[in-house]
Structures are given as C-alpha cells and as structure tokens.
C-alpha cells in the first residue's frame, strides 16, 4: 500500500529523531480532538511510560489527523514509518477482516457485555489475528454507542432513513448496516464531514455523543436519534515492525502503560458522554430516543451473511450467548 507523498516526506524528516542511545521516541498519531477522552488517555499513557522506563521510552502524539486519516496512518504503521495509533474497528476491518464482527449492529446487550467480550479470550483472539497484517492490537478504548444525527428530520424509525445519504466510515459493515435500515451510505473521511454536511453532500451521519459534540456537527445537524446501533470500540494499535524491536522489558513497560491508559479512558468516557448530550441539547439539538426493536429486526439480515463462515458465525453466537458475571 502506498501512503501519500507528503506524509511519507514528513516521516523521512522524523526518522532522524526517532531515538538516541538512551531514549526511544514512540510516534503515535490519531484523528481525534485534543479534548477527547482518548487523547487525554494517550497523554497519561505517555507520562506513565516515561515514569516506568525512567525516561528511556517517550511518546510523541500527533492528534487531529495531522499525519493522515486512520487508513493512511495504518498503512504507515504497516511499513514501519509510524509506531502507534487509535483506530475505529470500522477502519481496522479493512486491514484485519475478522474484526468486522465487532461492528455488527446490536451485537452487544450493553456496555458491560461488550467489555466482558473485548477484555476476554474473544477480544484477545481478534487482536492477535491482526498480527498477520503487520499490526498488533494492544487493547480496546471505549467509544460508546453510535447513533444517527441528521439535518432535516429526526430518525425515529428505519423508514425515516429512506432517501437520506448518511455518512459512514470506509467500512463494508457500516455501509451494509445503513442499507439494511433503508438509508444510502456515503463514505467520507472524518476531516471532510463538517463541510460535507454544510454543503448537502450528505444528509446526516452516525457517531457517539462526544464525537458529535467535539466535531461541532451539532451546528449543522439539529436531530440526534439515540438508536445506539453499534458499540464499536476504538482499538489501540502498534506495528509488528516496531513491537519486534522492543526488548522484553520495554514491552512490559508499554503494556503496563497501555493498561492504565485504557482504564483511565473508560472512566473518562461516561462523564464525557453525559456532558456531550447536555451541551448539544443546550445548543438546540433535539434528542430522540426511538424504539430500537424495528432497527434490531432490520439488522437481522446482516447476521445471515455470516452463515457460511463457520469460525466467525461461531464467535458471534459465543458473544450472544455469553452469560454475564
């Protein structure tokens, strides 16, 4: 895969300052705002890692798509030109196909169920599988539930999506989901979405409350329908090129810092979600809480697509039948 020339040039310049005899710099890029809980958790991860390693491992963070989209960043990680990132499962499925099941609508009953799966053997199996594609999954951040927001009318039922162009990530699963509900999926990069909404390229989008708020998409879209169709986690990713050059001690330090970062981010998330909903309401957004049953019913067709894949179909049933602790 080829990365944009401007980004490659940036990293040619950065490679010279990757490390010294006593310090290794870990270059981490992501597409989120610096006020997002994920970015704050990454800042904590950097502090903790520096402390654990007595300064020998340092993290340099490049937020706000400074170094490209999620897809472009993953390509750079695959070739060893970048070290770490956070990506949505919807983006990761284009690189590690088995992770696409985590984007299925209404796969999880609630947040507790999701974390039970993600932090257990199933989640670890999906993370490990990405190593075949030069990517190593380190863990899952909480990205909450994704719901629809729209410009002209609220979405209280799948029928309300008829005729609407809905922005989705570059994900076959996300596109299939919007089609199953009756809408017209339109892949657009996150950085271009605000303008696309303003100009009518799309009629709406879908995302979690903090992203809806921090992106200021509420300035254009005045309806937010909490149908909560997916609980798609964010995945903290490093490259196998980078990972294999770490010593066992360095890997231990990094894993410890990652674990602390994930716990911290998940604690921040619930507060950020509540604050975001309040802020968009204050800005004049109408919050709609539709009956989820019609959405669940329409999504059933997506599960049938997996019948011929015995492994993934089996994992889906494991998830659905898992007993809560």
DSSP structure class, residue 221: -
pLDDT at residue 38 greater than cutoff 90? yes
Assess contact for 202 and 186: CB atoms under 8 A: yes
Q: How confident is the model at residue 129 (pLDDT cuts 50, 70, 90)?
A: very high
In angstroms, rounded to a whole number, what is the distance separating the alpha carbons of residues 128 and 235?
Answer: 12
Domains of the chain with CATH codes: 5-99+109-142+233-274 (3.40.190.170), 146-231+280-321 (3.40.190.170)
Q: Is the confidence at residue 258, as pLDDT, over 70?
A: yes
- The rounded mean pLDDT for the chain is 92
Residues whose CB is less than 8 angstroms from the CB of residue 88 and which lie 6 or more positions away in sequence, other chains included: 70, 143, 169, 232, 234, 235
pLDDT in tens, 209-257: 999 999 999 999 999 999 999 998 999 999 999 999 999 999 999 999 9
Q: What is the pLDDT of residue 22?
A: 85
pTM: 0.86
């Amino acid at each position: 895969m080829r990365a944009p020339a401007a980004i490659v040039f940036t990293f040619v310049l950065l490679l010279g300052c990757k490390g010294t005899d006593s310090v290794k710099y870990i270059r981490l890029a992501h597409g989120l705002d610096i006020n997002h809980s994920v970015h704050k958790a990454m800042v904590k991860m950097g502090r903790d890692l520096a402390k654990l390693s007595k300064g020998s491992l340092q993290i340099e963070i490049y937020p706000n798509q400074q170094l490209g989209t999620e897809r472009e960043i993953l390509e750079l990680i695959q070739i060893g030109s970048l070290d770490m990132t956070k990506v949505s499962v919807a983006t990761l499925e284009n690189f590690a196909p088995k992770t696409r099941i985590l984007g299925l609508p209404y796969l999880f009953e609630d947040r507790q169920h999701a974390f039970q799966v993600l932090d257990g053997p199933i989640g670890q199996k999906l993370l490990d599988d990405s190593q075949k594609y030069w990517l190593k999954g380190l863990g899952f951040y909480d990205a909450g539930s994704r719901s629809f927001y729209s410009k002209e009318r609220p979405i209280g039922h799948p029928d309300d999506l008829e005729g609407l162009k809905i922005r989705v990530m570059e994900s076959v699963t996300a596109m299939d989901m919007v089609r199953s509900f009756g809408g017209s999926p339109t892949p657009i990069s996150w950085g271009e979405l605000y303008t696309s909404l303003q100009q009518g390229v799309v009629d709406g989008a879908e995302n979690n409350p903090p992203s809806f708020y921090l992106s200021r998409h509420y300035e254009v879209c005045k309806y937010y329908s909490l149908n909560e169709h997916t609980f798609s986690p964010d995945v903290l990713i490093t490259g196998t090129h980078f990972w294999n050059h770490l010593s066992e001690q360095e890997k231990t330090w990094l894993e410890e810092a990652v674990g602390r970062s994930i716990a911290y981010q998940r604690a921040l998330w619930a507060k950020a979600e509540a604050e975001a909903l309040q802020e968009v309401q204050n800005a004049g957004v109408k919050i709609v809480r539709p009956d989820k049953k019609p959405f669940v019913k329409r999504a059933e067709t997506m599960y049938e697509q997996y019948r011929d894949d015995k492994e993934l179909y089996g994992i889906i049933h494991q998830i659905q039948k898992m007993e809560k602790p």
